[in-house]
Amino acid sequence: MKNIDIFFGRMDAWRHLPNYQLERRTDIFFSLYLPEVLEKHFSFPVKDVLVPEFPVHINTICPDKPTDKSYKIDYVAFSEDGDRVFLVELKTDDASRRGSQDIYLCKAKKEGLERLTDGLKKIFMATAAKRKYFHLFDLLEKAGMVSIPDQMRVVMNRSNLQGLNELIREITYLGSPSEIHIVYVQPNDCREHKPDLSHEDKVSVITFKDFAEVVKGHKDVVSQRFAQSLETWASVIPGNNA
Evaluate whether residue 18 is within a structural domain. Answer: no
Evaluate whether residue 86 is within a structural domain. Answer: yes
Angle (CA) 22 28 29, round 5°: 80
Distance CA 8, CA 26 (A): 10
Please tell me the total count of domains within the chain.
1
Average pLDDT over residues 101-122: 94
Reported confidence tier of residue 106, pLDDT bands at 50, 70, 90:
very high
Instruction: Share the mean pLDDT of the chain.
Output: 93
- For residue 216, CA distances in Å to 91, 211, 232 come to 20, 9, 14
Predicted confidence (pLDDT) at residue 1 exceeds the cutoff of 80: no
Evaluate whether residue 221 is within a structural domain. Answer: no
Containing structural domain, residue 31:
25-212
pLDDT tens string 71-98: 999 999 999 999 999 999 999 999 888 8
- Global pTM value: 0.92
Instruction: Please state the separation of Cα 239 from the chain's center in Å.
Output: 26
Predicted confidence (pLDDT) at residue 115 exceeds the cutoff of 70: yes
Predicted confidence (pLDDT) at residue 177 exceeds the cutoff of 70: yes
Sign, Cα dihedral of 203, 76, 233, 104: negative
Q: Residues 83, 88, 141, 170: what is their CA dihedral angle, to the nearest 10 degrees?
A: 90
How many CB atoms lie under 10 A from the CB of residue 176? 10
Evaluate whether residue 241 is within a structural domain. Answer: no
- For residue 53, CA distances in Å to 73, 87, 100, 136 come to 5, 10, 17, 10
Predicted confidence (pLDDT) at residue 7 exceeds the cutoff of 50: yes
Predicted confidence (pLDDT) at residue 6 exceeds the cutoff of 50: yes
Note the pLDDT of residue 199: 46
Evaluate whether residue 130 is within a structural domain. Answer: yes
Residues of the chain with pLDDT > 70, as a percent, come to 94
Evaluate whether residue 225 is within a structural domain. Answer: no
Rounded to a whole number of angstroms, the CA Rg of the chain reads 19
